[in-house]
Amino acid sequence: MDAALELMDEGALTMRALASRVGLTPGALYTYFPDRAALVSAVADRLLAEADLTLLDAPGLSPHDRIESFALALREVLLRHPAAVPAILGAAFSGPTALHVGESLLRELSDPRASYTVMVYVLGAIALEAAELEGPPPPEEERIALRRTYLVVDPEAFPLTHAANDVIAAYISTDQFRWGLRRLLSAP
């Protein structure tokens, strides 16, 4: 599964490539996983578990702070493996680790609807950020600077977008991620 994650990061996860990397014949993989989709799900769940789940139960922190620190940790893990993020979205509920995260989240927020809203925001933000990464990401500042030149638009046709260029470039920043999360958590 480590090899599978590596290949995913390289954007080249095929059963054949995986087999050759672990020194097997393609067919031999089907002893361990019924099919490619099962392999991908397993990798997704393992990746989800790489974020420090204990942050969600950290003593001495407010519920909001626990959620924030876990969300930041999860984002960091997942953005290092952007190609795996779509699989995470797919397994958002089903996997065993996802269940554990869900239970902890329910403990922090009294209304289950609020906890789902947080999940939606966190996974949505990560998914949008991951979508524009090919491999492991360059430093944040670099990505923002790139977006600043990248996202130039016609000022006549899109005046507000043009005026907000700097903020839009920073949509993928940790600050923006935290800002949105806090806004959501601070809702009445």
Partner DNA sequence: ACCTGAACACCGTTCAAGT
106 lies in the binding site for a second copy (CB under 8 A): yes
Residue 171 found at the interface with a second copy (CB under 8 A): yes
Segment near DNA (CB under 7 A); pick from 29-37, 73-81, 90-98, 172-180: 29-37
Q: What angle do CA 94, 57, 65 make, to 5 degrees?
A: 105
* Interface with a second copy in residues 68-97 (CB under 8 A): 86, 89-90, 92-93
By CB under 7 A, tell whether 12 contacts DNA. yes
| Burial profile 72-97: b = 16 or more Cβ within 10 angstroms, e = fewer | bbbbebbbebbbbbebbeebbeebeb
Please report the DSSP string for 100-134 in residue order.
HHHHHHHHH-SSHHHHHHHHHHHHHHHHHHHHT-S
**Residue 60 site contact among a second copy, DNA, none (CB < 5 to 8 Å, cut-off depends on kind):** none
Part in contact with a second copy (CB under 8 A); list of ranges 27-35, 37-45, 68-76, 173-181: 173-181
DSSP 79-101: HTSGGGHHHHHHTTTTSHHHHHH
- Minimum Å gap between C-beta 10 and DNA is 11
Segment contacting DNA (CB under 7 A): 15-23, 94-102, 111-119, 144-152?
15-23
**Residues near DNA (CB under 7 A):** 12-17, 19, 23-28, 30-32, 34-37
